Amino acid sequence: MTTAHGPVLRTSRERVADVPGPALATLTKERFSRDGWIFERKLDGMRIIASRCGAAVQLHSRSGANAGVSFPEIVEALEAIDVPDFVVDGELVAFDGAQTSFARLQQRMHVSNPAKARRTGVAVFYYVFDMLHLDGHSTRGLPLRERKSLLRELFDWDDPLRFTTHRNADGEECFADACAKGWEGLIAKRADAPYQSGRTRDWLKFKCEQGQEFVIGGWTDPQGSRAAFGALLLGYYDRSGSLVYAGKVGAGFGQAMLASMHAQLAEHATADPAYEVATLPTAPV
């Protein structure tokens, strides 16, 4: 095979089976823009190392478990690529609207029959961000920019395969934008670094601290020596405007606060539950 990336073919030969496990990003509170770093979207999905050796495509999770039967459309898409044997790294996701949804992906993750996996109706996409091996040679010693360029050049990027794009600068601005969009965060990667398996500081995780606003929709009766109320029943409004029960909280209240809050809550008591009944637990709360 001839490419513009001659160094790929000058490395020592290796088997697809000998390619080591995935690189793991290090969580950091630091946010920065630095020369020589790129910034990728952090996706809420399942880390997948995909390989093809001859006609056989395999998908392996971060722990090494075989995931191919759960995602047959990804296997088929990788089988169809006109590229020699390869190993790539990426994130497999499902969407709920514009956001990646691990909850939806879970509907596919533990399905052990390809036909049943398709019948779930949950569409999945494989966002590929790195190339670890190509045509019997390691690409892991190449700088990240070269690996990504090689990956973009060689693969056909049609759904369900997607190339993971990146920003070359403005890390803080990119992070703020990611959080405003409700993303998980960013992965900052050193652009000239080789691929290193295991935990590395060449990949840094900028994680958005997502919060959730809850409303008080009820309370439970006190038990034992406790006065006023037992726990507050919390919920949130869904897209249809219904109040959905989320859980309860009862710790951290002093006696004075219990009495004060109960007096305020009692003024708004109603005979009917505030929550959408179908969302309430069937066991006592």
Give the active site residues: 42
Largest CA distance in the chain: 79
DSSP codes, 174-220:
HHHHHHHTT--EEEEEETTPPP-SEEEEEEEEEE-------EEEEEP
Handedness of CA 3, 139, 77, 123 (dihedral sign): negative
- The pairing of strands 232-237 and 86-96 is unpaired
Pairwise CA distance, residues 78 & 1, whole Å = 18
| Strand (E) or helix (H) holding 115 | helix 114-119
Whole-number CA gyration radius for the chain? 25
Pairwise CA distance, residues 235 & 280, whole Å = 10
Quickly tell me which residue has 């998980």 as its tokens. 184
| Strand (E) or helix (H) holding 104 | helix 102-109
SS3 112: coil
